[in-house]
Amino acid sequence: MKTVVIAIGGNSLIRDAQHMSVPDQYAAVVETACHITDLLEQRYRIVITHGNGPQVGFILLRSEHSRGILHQVPLDSIVADTQGALGYQIQQALENEFRRRGLKKSVATVVTQTLVDRNDPAFAKPSKPIGQFYAREEAEDRMRVEKWTMVEDAGRGWRRVVASPKPVSIIEAEVVRHLVKDGYVVIAAGGGGIPVVADEKGNLRGTAAVIDKDLASAILAKAISADMLVVATSVEKVCLNYGKPNEQALDVMTAAEATRYMAEGHFQPGSMLPKVQACLQFIEGGGREALITCPPALSAALAGKTGTRIVC
Q: Which residues have a catalytic role annotated?
A: 10-11, 128, 213, 275
194 in the Ramachandran plot: left (φ > 0), alpha (ψ -120 to 50) or beta?
A: beta
Gap between the Cα atoms of 210 and 302, Å rounded: 30
Distant-in-sequence, close-in-space partners of 64: CB < 8 Å, separation ≥ 6: 131, 132
Alpha carbon of residue 171 to chain centroid: 16
The set of residues, in sequence order, having a beta carbon less than 8 Å from that of 221 and lying 6+ positions away, is 5, 47, 228, 229, 282, 287
Rounded to 5°, the CA angle 194-196-199 comes to: 165
Q: Which residues, 6+ apart, have CB-to-CB distance to 219 below 8 Å?
A: 114, 167, 168, 169, 170, 281
